[in-house]
Chain A
Amino acid sequence: NAGVTQTPKFRVLKTGQSMTLLCAQDMNHEYMYWYRQDPGMGLRLIHYSVGEGTTAKGEVPDGYNVSRLKKQNFLLGLESAAPSQTSVYFCASSLTAYQPQHFGDGTRLSIL
């Protein structure tokens, strides 16, 4: 049982490049989340989804887009990467909003 899988684990981008981070879960969870974690700031919610075909903005959505075309996948896109988006990105999923979240191992993204 893989749980929550994030790809890639590491990536270096140049300013202005685009990329997509993939999150996949095999627990049939309805809710999926994308967070970023920066030193001294804790986790911050970027976007989340409450089911297939739905997305919603979190605390820090600017500069990111998401899609949930299939229930098991939640994609995070950076259309034009900026150095301020250098961070560790975590994906999580949960059965409901009030059930514990299961986290992926994170993606370390550096933008030069």
Chain B
Amino acid sequence: KNEVEQSPQNLTAQEGEFITINCSYSVGISALHWLQQHPGGGIVSLFMLSSGKKKHGRLIATINIQEKHSSLHITASHPRDSAVYICAVIGNQFYFGTGTSLTVIP
């Protein structure tokens, strides 16, 4: 049983495309965390949100608590966005999705 499901698992896009990565969860949460893991392995926090929408540069994260769903959008994608994007939720425990592997082709 996976408390956090991400889709798609793999995504290939052309440079400049608008990208959406989805995260659905089945548990009650107090916050949701989007992380980025580059091929070298390092993990970076992108957003933590509990309602509404947050924007940082070309990245936008939204969450709908009622629908138990969050999306991560990347506008004007670039090859340096190629990474694994991980959704994590904080409920009575921490639950992580298995990640979405994004490849942006020049």
B66 close to A (CB within 8 Å): no
CB-CB nearest in chain B for A48 = B94
CB distance from A31 to the nearest CB of B (A): 11
A42 near B97: Cβ-Cβ < 8 Å: yes
Q: Which of B43, B48, B88 has the most CB of A within 10 A?
A: B43
Known: A40-B98, A42-B99. A103 touches B50 (CB 8 A): no
CB distance from A7 to the nearest CB of B (A): 15
Residues of chain B lying within 8 A (CB to CB) of residue A43? 86, 88, 96
A97 near B42: Cβ-Cβ < 8 Å: no
Residues of chain B lying within 8 A (CB to CB) of residue A101? 33, 45
Q: When A and B form their complex, what is the total count of cross-chain residue pairs whose Cβ atoms lie within 8 Å?
A: 48
A100 near B96: Cβ-Cβ < 8 Å: no
A99 close to B (CB within 8 Å): yes
A41 near B98: Cβ-Cβ < 8 Å: yes
0/1 interface trace, chain A 70-104, chain B, CB 8 Å (1 if under):
00000000000000000010101000011111110
Residues of chain B lying within 8 A (CB to CB) of residue A59? 93-94
Residues of chain B lying within 8 A (CB to CB) of residue A99? 48
Interface size on A, residues (CB 8 A): 22
A58 close to B (CB within 8 Å): yes
Q: Which of A44, A58, A101 has the most CB of B within 10 A?
A: A101
B48 near A98: Cβ-Cβ < 8 Å: yes
A48–B90 CA distance with the chains assembled, in angstroms: 13
Q: Which of B30, B44, B45 has the most CB of A within 10 A?
A: B45
A85–B93 CA distance with the chains assembled, in angstroms: 22
A52 close to B (CB within 8 Å): no
CB distance from B76 to the nearest CB of A (A): 24
Residues of chain B lying within 8 A (CB to CB) of residue A48? 94
A48–B41 CA distance with the chains assembled, in angstroms: 21
Q: What would be 13 A-B contacts, judged by CB atoms less than 8 Å apart?
A: A40-B98, A41-B98, A42-B98, A43-B86, A58-B94, A90-B43, A92-B43, A97-B30, A97-B31, A98-B30, A100-B33, A102-B45, A103-B42
